[in-house]
């Protein structure tokens, strides 16, 4: 299991073999507030890098989750239906949103590692 990589839109991807687990970062969940609903894609859907994979809703806001990499959705986190709060409680772990079978692993190189992401957060504060 690799280290998470981050996009400028605050999604992360954790790659294991050719499957990446995607969610939103700690910063993103704090920005949104209490998550109340997640609109998930269907297993089998194809997503392109930068295209909408899911939508996370809080009471006052809605945020698109853009896929950090291209591929096919092989799993969605059904637990979010009953417990959308998982994203707030454990965004990087139990609050994962979709798993994608990567079609072009080279795309990962364009993403930031944890340290670069933290630096990025400082610039937009």
Partner 1 sequence: MLNNQGRPTRSGETSSAAAATFTGNRALDMEEALIFETGRLDATGVDIDEPPPFASRLGAHARKSEIGLPGLSEPEAVRHYVRLSRKNYSIDAGLYPLGSCTMKHNPRLNEKMARLPGFADIHPLQPTSTVQGALRLIDDLARTLMAMAGMPAIAMSPKAGAHGELCGMMAIKAAIEARGEGATRNVVLVPESAHGTNPATAALIGFSVRSVPTGADGIVDPAAVKAALGPEVAAIMLTNPNTCGLFEREIAAIAEAVHEAGAFFYCDGANFNAIMGKTRPGDLGVDAMHINLHKTFSTPHGGGGPGAGPVVLSKALAPFAPVPYVVIHGDMLRLVEHRQDSQAFGRMTAFNGQMGMFVRALSFILSHGADGLKQAAEDAVLSANYIRVCLNDLMSSPYGDRPCMHEALFDDRWLKETGLTTLDFAKAMIDEGYHPMTVYFPLVVHGAMLIEPTESESKASLDLFVMTLRDLAHSALGGERERFTAAPRLAPRRRLDETRAARQPVLKWTKPAPA
Partner 2 sequence: MRYLPLDAADRALMLARVGVSHIDEIFADIPADKRLNGLLDIPTRKSEIEVDRILSSLAGRNVAAGSVPFFLGAGAYRHHVPASVDHLIQRSEFLTSYTPYQPEIAQGTLQVLFEFQTQVAALTGMEVANASMYDGSTACGEAMLMAHRLTRRNKAVLSGGLHSQYADVAATLASMAGDKIVRLPPDIKASEDLAAAIDENTSCVIVQSPDFFGNPRDLAPIKAAAEAKGALLIAVFTEAVSLGALRSPGEMGADIVVGEGQSIGNALNFGGPYVGLFATHLKYARQMPGRLAGETVDADGRRSFVLTLSTREQHIRREKATSNICTNSGLCALAFSIHMSLLGQTGLQRLARVNHANSVALADRLAEIKGVEIVNQYFFNEFTIRTPRVAEELIEALAKRGIIGGLPVSRLLPDAGLDDLIVVAGTETNSDEDRAAFAAVLTQCLSV
Residue 57, SS3? strand
- Residue 59 binds partner 1, judged by CB under 8 A: yes
Q: Which 64-93 positions form the footprint of partner 1 (CB under 8 A)?
A: 64, 84-85
84 binds, among partner 2, partner 1, none (CB under 5 to 8 A by kind): partner 1
CA distance 56 to 84: 9
Spell 86-104 as b/e; 16+ CB within 10 A means b.
bbbeebbeebbbbbbebee
Judged by CB, which is closer to partner 2: 32, or 98?
32
Considering only the stretches 61-69, 91-99, 100-108, 115-123, report the one whose residues sit in contact with partner 1 under the rule CB under 8 A: 61-69
Q: CB–CB of 17/36 below 8 Å?
A: no
Element (H, E) at 29: helix 26-32
31 binds, among partner 1, partner 2, none (CB under 5 to 8 A by kind): partner 1
Six-digit token string for 79: 């637990």
Selected from 43, 51, 59, 79, the binder of partner 2 by CB under 8 A is: 59
The CB density around residue 64, as the number of other CB atoms within 10 Å, is 13
Judged by CB, which is closer to partner 2: 60, or 122?
60
The footprint of partner 2 (CB under 8 A) covers 36-37, 57-62
- The residues that touch partner 1, with contacts defined as CB under 8 A, are 31-34, 36-37, 55, 57-64, 84-85
């Amino acid at each position: 299991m690799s280290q998470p990589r981050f996009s400028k839109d605050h999604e992360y991807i954790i790659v294991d073999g050719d499957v990446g687990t995607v969610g939103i970062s700690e910063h993103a969940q704090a920005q949104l507030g209490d998550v109340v609903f997640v609109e998930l894609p269907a297993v089998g859907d194809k997503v392109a890098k930068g295209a909408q994979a899911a939508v996370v809703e809080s009471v006052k806001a809605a945020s698109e989750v853009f896929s950090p990499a291209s591929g096919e959705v092989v799993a969605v986190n059904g637990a979010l239906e009953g417990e959308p709060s998982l994203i707030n409680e454990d965004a990087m772990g139990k609050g994962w949103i979709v798993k994608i079978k990567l079609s072009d692993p080279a795309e990962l190189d364009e993403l930031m590692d944890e340290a670069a992401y933290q630096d990025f957060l400082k610039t937009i504060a």
